[in-house]
Structure 1
Amino acid sequence: MKFKNLLTSSKGLTLVEVLVSLTILGIVLMGTMKFFSQAYTYTNMNEKKTAAVNVARNALMHIEKENFIEVREEFRNDKDHYLNLLICDRAYETFWNGETPEPNCSPIIVNNIEYNVTINLPKNEVENINSAKGEHSSFFVPLKATVTWEINGKEESTEIEGEIKSEDLR
């Protein structure tokens, strides 16, 4: 009965009632805004990670166009060997560890973020490539592309694995 009287009363609301309702509304809105802020941050991080995965895929596609025998032999001769992929004069260039890139070379830039690409053997495949036993190891080289980038002073990375195959099979 009291609730009905409160709704039908023509007195209006007191200042305390207005302040309490505004406080409750503010708390609910702050929680909602926090959700949108976190969703934006998550979407932004996923956008950069998607770009990094695409950069890694492009790197593996570029390596597949390289001379298969030279790449296979480099990895067979030194299991810790790796390739860096840079852009030089608007084209991809690969540099083995120890090789100095030309001054006009830079990391791959997508949406003003620098992505550094390293290509090496996956750890579980090091023994297989060095043994060179079996048909599979003669015609395929498993590779891992690691892409790193920096956001707000924090380094992020992603990896994808793939294989390059001999020209004899193409």
Structure 2
Amino acid sequence: MNKSENGFTLIEVLVSLTLLTSIVLVASSFFTQSNTISSYNNQKLVAVNLARATLERIQLAPESYITDGLNGGPYTYQNCKNSPKTDCENYQIKINNHEYRIDVTVSQDLNEQEIELVDVRVDVTLPNKKPTIETSVEGFVKHAALSP
């Protein structure tokens, strides 16, 4: 047998295929992980924007969310379902096939009462996601708008 023949042995081909397969598996797991993170960040961004938009809506028309004044809260989807007098579409919103829950909490201390402001906190949750996506935004609403 002539030793000067050029070419690859079976062992060299198997080692190179093993290395190539390892590199492809690592690269594909990187892309899968980055896709998962991107999806989570997108849903978190939707929750943040939904919380901000809800606070804006409350500042413009508080009666659409806060139906019983300061003593009626917290205003949640579950409490809304138990109350026959309100429409609950403001507390559960479907965006991109995900159900976001909105909770509104109102409070007022003595300083806020003197200047006729109410502290409003909006919490948005995507409960069916692992990990659960939660975000909150706070702001103020004129006290006169929240009189029961």
TM range (shorter): 0.7 to 0.9
Indicate the residue corresponding to 2:19 in structure 1: 24
Shift in Å, 1:157? 1.9
Q: Deviations over 1:98-127 (max 9, x none)?
A: 523667847211111111100114xxxx5x
Give 1:34's aligned residue.
Answer: 29
Q: CA deviation at 1:149?
A: 1.5
- Could you give the per-residue CA deviations for residues 102-159 of structure 1, whole angstroms, max 9, x where no partner exists? 67847211111111100114xxxx5xx24x2x36753322221111113457643222
Are residue 143 (structure 1) and residue 128 (structure 2) matched?
no
In 1: Cα distance, 2:81 partner to 2:114 partner: 23
* Pick aligned residue for 2:74 from 79, 82, 97: 82
Structure 1 residue runs of 4+, over 6 Å off? Answer: none
Matches within 5 A, 1:63-74: 63-66=58-61, 74=69
Alpha-carbon distance between aligned partners in 2 of 1:141 and 1:97, rounded to the nearest angstrom: 25
Aligned residues: 137
Distance 1:64 1:140 in 2: 11
Q: CA deviation at 1:161?
A: 2.0
The match for 2:9 is 14
Q: Is the 8 Å Cα contact of residues 82 and 96 (structure 1) preserved in structure 2? A: no
> RCO (CA 8 Å, sep 6+): is it higher in 1 or 2?
2
How far the C-alpha of 1:14 sits from its partner, in A, is 0.4
Alpha-carbon distance between aligned partners in 2 of 1:144 and 1:103, rounded to the nearest angstrom? 20
In the other structure, the counterpart of 2:83 is 99
Q: Cα offset for 1:163?
A: 2.1
Change beyond 3 A, Cα 1:99–1:47: same
Sequence identity of aligned pairs in percent? 28
Structure 2 unmatched runs, 5+? none
Letter in 1 for 2:83: E
Cα displacement (A) at 1:61: 1.0
Output the TM-score relative to the length of structure 2: 0.73
SS of corresponding position for 1:83: coil
Which residue pairs with 2:54 in the alignment? 59
CA gap of 1:137–1:61, structure 2 versus 1, over 3 A, is farther
Structure 2 residue aligned with 1:158, among 130, 135, 146? 135
CA-to-partner distance for each residue in 1:11-61, whole Å, 9 max, x for gaps? 200011011011011111111111111100000011111111111111111
Q: Which ranges of structure 1 fall in alignment gaps of 5 or more residues?
A: 1-8, 86-94
